[in-house]
Amino acid sequence: MRTRRIKQVAAVAGLTLLSVWLGQARGDFFCTPATKVANVNGGITTMGGCISADGLSLYVASDRAGGYGGTFDMYVATRASTQDEWGSAVNLGPTLNSAAWEHTLNIAPDSLSLYFSSDWPGGSGQMDMWVATRPNTDSPWGKPVNLGPTVNSPAWDLSARESADGLTLLFHSQRGGGLGGQDIWMSTRATKNEPWGQPVNVGAPVNSGANDGEAVLTLDGLALFFNSDRAGGIGTDDLWVTTRRTASDPWGPPINLGRSVNTPATEWLGSVSADGATLYFASDRPTAWGPCSIYQTTISPVVDFNGDGKVDDAEVRIMMENWGKGEPLCDIGPTPFGDGVVDMQDMAVLTRYASGKVVDPTLVACWALDEKDGTDVSDSAGTYPARLIGNPVWRPEGGAVGGALELDGVDDGVMVTFQSGLHQGAMSVLAWVKGGRPGQVIFSQQGYANWLAAEKSTGELMTDVRAATRAGRPLCSKTSITDGQWHRVGLVWDGAIRTLYVDGVPVAADVQDSPKNAYADLALGAGKALAPGTFWSGLIDDVRIYNRAVKP
């Protein structure tokens, strides 16, 4: 029975690590909160948001006044540089717009072809895909041409998008033969001068039994964004991303872009900038502008590998230790998702952030403990201020990083009102400590578990955070932390592996199912029951919580 259980655990760990290794969106990136694009929105509905490769033109479909009589007309907004705001959107004129529908428009990477969908006469179905071309970007658009019955079907065919080399066309369709009500399809051609070939379904895991569409391929072909109403989302339709290591590899499991982008409303994908750093999309979230507007979000890599709030030599060292490997933590270039190997492209991205201010929304809380007096303890992440209990002493010059807090081991500590679940994904808890005795606790959640503690007999680092199942158990190291020296200790759970760290070195690890999701206050320097003997005697400094797996 024990052998079978070990094999099952190994299989679970291997599957989780494999999904990371294959180059999926790995939690090494984040999306900033979405903001409405200035000057572009108008009317009741504005959709699309397709940016040109040079970043100077943004194409949208809108029902605003002043069109040519159709429900939607096509417009373009321009700007002089990527640092400027967009100008007002201008109607593309009667060659492209009519009294019919013109929408789901997309500009080709070379800016010489404009794809859109319309119910114009002469099509193959209810809504066909069309393309207008021009010889150069200074010329007007020519008369649109239907993509033909090979690509179009009797059903709705929408949102054609051309790959960077012009040889692949992605679109979504309600035609038969798919996995769900609406699927993403792909057509290819050998050269730009040849017609598009017979479409094939992109298949799982990109398509599902739900509705999937608006596929956007990054210029390197390694990331595919799309929207879907599949299970596991936040709203009616959410934005998702899947990645692959090379253009010949299969797509990995799609990852939801999260609550900084998705809402309980509907999000429709627009485009991603050429550098992969800005995502444009439409949403019907509540707004004074109307029920549907264009938004944007910035996609950034997480560059603070060791979770100390800085990008410095420590990150360079971690990157060099993984040079030539597929370590997901360091695979941040080319932005935003890397390419499956740690190399000069990753170092170039890291260099851009060196010595600058670190913006990391995965930081849940940080108590720097740099105060000089008083009983209030600030959280630099801004969410969970705390208060002192007992009579701790501030040591402004005595910390491992700036100041520190000295505790007497009797009744001193820090209490944090914290009614959030910490175990809904990967997480890390880190702290600097000095002193302490066996049995004393560094960090706990009241009534639940001692997250970081000194084992009661030996003073070795341990944690009592465990799975909610019968398999849950404490994890103990063989490394003492009560020798009177400064130590940076940490607990990291990456979704499968639970690891204890001391001074940047993993000292214990095991496979552990998701810990119990407790909602209770936190204590720094005291045990889960505030019992005598569990209060820390010594110094504590720079306590941090992340909702990702860091590498201390």
List alpha helices for 22-77, DSSP H: none
Give the per-residue pLDDT at 469.
80
List of E strands, 63-181: 73-78, 90-91, 102-107, 113-118, 128-133, 145-146, 157-162, 168-173
Query: Residue holding tokens 């291997």?
Result: 14
pLDDT at 464 over 90: yes
Beta-carbon neighbour count of residue 489 at 10 Å?
Answer: 25
Contacting residues for 215 by C-beta, under 8 A, at least 6 apart? 159, 161, 170, 171, 172, 184, 202, 206, 224, 225, 226, 269
Q: What is the pLDDT of residues 334-390, one digit of tens each?
A: 876 777 789 999 999 999 888 777 888 889 999 999 999 999 999 998 889 999 999
pLDDT at 4 over 60: no
- Highest mean pLDDT, choosing among 249-253, 284-288, 454-458: 454-458
* Orientation of helix 344-353 relative to helix 313-321, angle to 10°: 170
Q: How far apart are CA 518 and CA 239, in angstroms?
A: 29
Mean pLDDT of 304-322: 92
Q: How far apart are CA 549 and CA 501, in angstroms?
A: 12
Comparing CA positions, the residue from 260, 347, 365 lying closest to residue 311 is 347
Q: How far apart are CA 343 and CA 326, in angstroms?
A: 10
Between the two ends of the chain, the Cα-to-Cα distance in Å is 36
Strand partners, 71: none
Q: Is the peptide bond before 140 cis (omega within 30 degrees of 0)?
A: no
pLDDT at 425 over 80: no
Pick the CATH number of 2-13+304-353 from 2.40.50, 3.40.50, 1.10.1330, 1.10.10: 1.10.1330
Mean pLDDT of 486-492: 97
Instruction: Give the CA distances from residue 234 to residues 9, 237, 243, 264, in Å, rounded to whole numbers and listed in that order.
Output: 30, 8, 21, 6
What φ, ψ does residue 352 adopt, rounded to 5°?
-65, -25
Q: 8 pLDDT band (50/70/90 cuts)? A: very low
**Rounded to 5°, angle at Cα 46 from 86 and 112:** 60
Give the per-residue pLDDT at 321.
94
Q: Dig out the tokens for 483 from the structure.
A: 């020798």
Q: Dig out the tokens for 4 from the structure.
A: 């079978």
pLDDT at 461 over 60: yes
For residue 263, which amino acid is it?
T
What φ, ψ does residue 345 adopt, rounded to 5°?
-65, -35
What φ, ψ does residue 15 adopt, rounded to 5°?
-65, -40
Pick the CATH number of 363-546 from 3.40.30.10, 3.40.190.80, 3.40.50.2300, 2.60.120.200: 2.60.120.200
Give the per-residue pLDDT at 260.
85
Q: Dig out the tokens for 189 from the structure.
A: 């051609």
Q: What is the pLDDT of residues 29-55, one digit of tens each?
A: 888 889 999 999 988 899 999 999 999
Give the per-residue pLDDT at 3.
30
For residue 75, which amino acid is it?
Y
Please provide the CATH number assigned to the domain covering 40-301. 2.120.10.30
Give the per-residue pLDDT at 30.
82
Contacting residues for 490 by C-beta, under 8 A, at least 6 apart? 307, 428, 429, 430, 431, 452, 500, 501, 502, 550, 552
Instruction: Give the CA distances from residue 364 to residues 105, 169, 263, 360, 384, in Å, rounded to whole numbers and listed in that order.
Output: 39, 41, 20, 9, 9
Strand partners, 435: 538
Comparing CA positions, the residue from 393, 401, 366, 397 lying closest to residue 538 is 393
Give the per-residue pLDDT at 320.
95
Q: 424 pLDDT band (50/70/90 cuts)? A: low
In this structure, the strands spanning 128-133 and 475-480 are unpaired
Give the per-residue pLDDT at 290.
57
Model pTM? Answer: 0.76
**Rounded to 5°, angle at Cα 201 from 195 and 207:** 140
Comparing CA positions, the residue from 116, 206, 125, 201 lying closest to residue 161 is 116
Domains of the chain, residue spans: 2-13+304-353, 40-301, 363-546
Give buried/exposed letters for 321-359 (b at 16+ CB in 10 A, else e). Answer: ebeeebbbbbbbbbbbbbbbbbbebbbebbeebeeeeee
Sheet arrangement for strand 200-201: 157-162, 168-173, 183-188, 200-201
Q: Is the peptide bond before 336 cis (omega within 30 degrees of 0)?
A: yes
Q: What is the length of the chain? A: 552
> What's the sign of the alpha-carbon dihedral 133, 134, 137, 138?
negative
Q: Dig out the tokens for 503 from the structure.
A: 């001074």
Comparing CA positions, the residue from 165, 155, 129, 200 lying closest to residue 53 is 165
Q: How far apart are CA 371 and CA 349, in angstroms?
A: 34
